[in-house]
Amino acid sequence: MTAPLNKDTPVIVLCGGQGTRIRDAAEHIPKPMLQIGGYPILWHIMRIYAAHGYRNFILALGYKSWVIKEYFLNYRAMTSDFALEFGAQASMRILDSREPPDWRIVFAETGEHTQTGRRVFLCQKYVETDEFMVTYGDGVADIDITRLHAFHRDHQRTATVTGVTPPGRFGSLVVDGPSVVAFNEHRHAGGGLVNGGFFVFNRAMFDVLGTAGDSMLETQPMNALVEADQLRMYRHTGFWEPMDTLREYQALNDLWQKGNAPWRVWE
């Protein structure tokens, strides 16, 4: 009998970037804190995972990390109606019944200018399970995280990358069935498969990252996996959208406001 998936598997969310391509909207805050419908896109990403039972998060922080820490430290005040009474002893009383999510979050300082691969490596000390997940802090999808995890466990390789088919401006994947035979970062995909940013790794990935130094996750580490035949692709055919540009930021907010956000899988 196949053992059940370990829902304590941690999710490392890369939150260290500056969002230079969307500077008009993210000039004074980290990109993962850009809001969709009043909540940071980081919150939306975490809700996607939590909807499938994955509530153990490691936030790999960098640029303006305190903004992210402050949001979660003051989460009840940020998301609730409350009454504040001043006096000799000031007190706050929450007025609505909304409960905070039952998440466990590790806030890991990984450096302001560190590359993505190194950020993941620096989170190793907080990963206690045989597997772990990684995603970017700036993209949403209606992806089935449970099926992604099961796919990874079944093929028994070191890594799984999610392949999607958006506009061809991201790193392209060349595959032979489920096997990844080439990983070309930021090369025109020509309408083919690209890296969707939802990864699952075995702990052996930390050895790969350790030898790669301060490199992008999508370059030397991924190429090493390809050469060793240790990378497989999970195909996601549903909704996927990054928030790289002001146009995408506005489009995601428009979908949310119209009640037509496909990634809202938690309700």
Helix (H, G, I), strand (E, B) or coil at 108: strand
- Of the pLDDT bands very low, low, confident and very high (cuts 50, 70, 90), residue 153 is very high
Segment 84-107, tens digit of pLDDT: 888 778 888 888 867 778 999 999
Give the amino acid at 147: R
Side chain identity at 97, as an amino acid letter? S
CA atoms within 13 A on the CB side of 239: 13
pLDDT(83) > 70: yes
d(CA 194, CA 192): 7
Helix, strand, or coil (residue 249): helix
What is the C-alpha separation between 204 and 152, in angstroms, rounded?
Answer: 14
pLDDT in tens, 199-213: 999 999 999 999 999
Q: Is 190 exposed, middle or buried (0-12, 13-18, 19+ CB in 10 A)?
A: exposed
31-35, 78-82, 221-225 — which is least confidently predicted?
A: 78-82
The answer to whether the CB of 121 falls within 8 A of the CB of 210 is yes
User: Which range among 32-36, 78-82, 207-211 shows the weakest confidence by mean pLDDT?
Assistant: 78-82
pLDDT at 193 over 90: no
Strands 131-136 and 139-141: unpaired
pLDDT for residue 21? 59
Residue 129 phi, psi (nearest 5): -105, 170
| pLDDT given for residue 188 in this prediction | 46
Q: Is residue 229 scored above 80 in pLDDT?
A: yes
β-partners of residue 109 are 61
pTM, two decimal places: 0.88
Whether the per-residue pLDDT at 227 is higher than 60: the answer is yes
CA-CA distance, 14 to 62, in Å (whole number)?
Answer: 9
The beta-carbon contacts of 147-151 under 8 Å, at least 24 apart in sequence, are: 147/234, 148/198, 148/200, 148/234, 148/236, 149/5, 149/9, 149/200, 150/5, 151/232, 151/234
Architecture of domain 11-257: Alpha-Beta Complex (3.90)
